[in-house]
Amino acid sequence: MINPQQLNRPSWNQLTGKEQHLLFTQILRYFVNPLLPTTDIAPVRFTVQGQSFASQTAIIAGQRYIFVPGQSQVQLGYQVTGKEVLTPRLWDDSEVVLEHPDLPTIPLTTNAQRERYLTDFTTSPRVVDIPPLLVSQQPLPVSQRSIGLYTPATGDFSGDMTTFKMVRQAAGDDLKRAPRSIVTPDFSVFFVPTAVLDQYQVRIDQQLTPMALTRQLARQGFSVLAPDEYEYVVGAGAATLFPWGNAGLAQLPTALPNRFGIRFSARQYTAEMTTDPLVWRGGWPVSGDQKMAAVQLPFSAFYDSGRLPGLGDLPVPQQVYHQVVRVTFEDER
């Protein structure tokens, strides 16, 4: 039997690798769709800014997932301390004047104005409970979803058989050679090579509304991150403004540092889909300015533009999501 308390921090951090592995295999057995192929179960360790985190990982239907322990009474949202406005690199002295998008005539030059900017565009401080999660390490574009694994030599497929039948009908004989992609009037199919020779992850590319995508994922036992879960996974429960601390960076890394090993790109602005269709995380800086605070604030776990992708005069950001499996128990609901 699984002891739910052991799946929360700091209890999880106190377990040996063998104990973590035993719990992880039970999670895979009881919480993951048994029709989906699960392989490469292994321990994993990440070290960020001198802090080490050990967990377990597995590949499910061609996607790598990492176990993220839950946490009770975790502090989310950003509490402005006043120290941020004194960070020179965050409020660099360029010729561009940072303006509040809703109050463009007021430049943010005083400490009080800067504090208001941070308060207006970060979520309010609050204390919540986060359940244990299986989180896909890599995000997918909102138009794509992984449906399983396919081996052309044998014709074997494991995963979402209903969707694969649709792929088989559309592809015909082309399916035997697993082309890089197949395009039909209604959807596209991508065959992504895996580490196993002659085995491919099958991805469907299809324009769906967030609610329709959520329903498709639910058929396989998956969901997307809830707004609170997004903040927790990006910031790993830290209270700092950014995943790397409170100061601005002279140059952003290609990927944001993440203590859980989950990847969030810093190469371009992305908007992350959540379980709430009206709440997207990340995106473009709403002020449209070039100052460090405006440019880097969207990479904060707590950034909240209050706007939906594609609305207004801002460019449409890349829209992505992380697939998750929530590890919840009946007596917790």
pLDDT in tens, 172-191: 877 877 678 888 888 999 99
Confidence of residue 100 (pLDDT cuts 50, 70, 90): low
Distance CA 104, CA 100 (A): 5
Least confident of 45-49, 85-89, 92-96, 121-125: 92-96
Determine the distance from the C-alpha atom of residue 250 to the mean position of all C-alpha atoms in its chain, rounded to a whole number: 24
Distance CA 24, CA 298 (A): 33
Q: Are strands 200-205 and 144-151 parallel, antiparallel or unpaired?
A: antiparallel
Q: Do residues 98 and 105 touch, judged by C-beta distance below 8 A?
A: no
Residue 232 is encoded by which pair of tokens? 């927790």
Closest CA to 260 of 59, 4, 47, 31: 47
Q: Do residues 129 and 74 touch, judged by C-beta distance below 8 A?
A: yes
Distance CA 180, CA 190 (A): 6
**61-77 mean pLDDT:** 94
Predicted confidence at residue 45, as pLDDT, reads 95
**149-164 mean pLDDT:** 89
**282-305 mean pLDDT:** 80
**152-166 mean pLDDT:** 89
The dihedral through the CA atoms of 211, 213, 214, 219 has a sign that is positive
pLDDT higher than threshold 80 for residue 300: yes
Top pLDDT among 314 and 272 is at: 272
pLDDT higher than threshold 50 for residue 25: yes
pLDDT above 90 covers what percent of the chain?
46
Confidence of residue 278 (pLDDT cuts 50, 70, 90): confident
pLDDT higher than threshold 70 for residue 89: no
pLDDT higher than threshold 60 for residue 323: yes
**Helices (runs of H) and strands (runs of E) counted in the chain:** 7, 19
Q: How far is CA 54 from CA 4, 42, 147, in A?
A: 18, 11, 29
**Residue 31, H or E segment:** helix 17-31
Look-up: residue for tokens 């463009």? 104
Average pLDDT of the chain?
A: 86
pLDDT higher than threshold 70 for residue 96: no
**205-215 mean pLDDT:** 92
Q: How far is CA 39 from CA 23, 30, 256, 294, in A?
A: 16, 16, 27, 42
Residue 202 is encoded by which pair of tokens? 């099958």
Distance CA 259, CA 245 (A): 13
Confidence of residue 30 (pLDDT cuts 50, 70, 90): very high
Predicted confidence at residue 293, as pLDDT, reads 76
pLDDT higher than threshold 70 for residue 111: yes
Q: How far is CA 253 from CA 15, 167, 267, 299, in A?
A: 32, 38, 8, 11
Quote the radius of gyration of the chain (alpha carbons, Å): 21
Residue 221 is encoded by which pair of tokens? 């036992």
- Can you name the residues that pair with 99 across neighbouring β-strands? 107
According to the per-residue pLDDT averaged within each range, which of 13-22, 205-214, 231-240, 304-313 is highest? 13-22
Predicted confidence at residue 7, as pLDDT, reads 97
Top pLDDT among 94 and 143 is at: 143
Closest CA to 316 of 324, 327, 307: 307
Q: 60 — phi, psi (to 5°)?
A: -115, 120
Confidence of residue 289 (pLDDT cuts 50, 70, 90): low
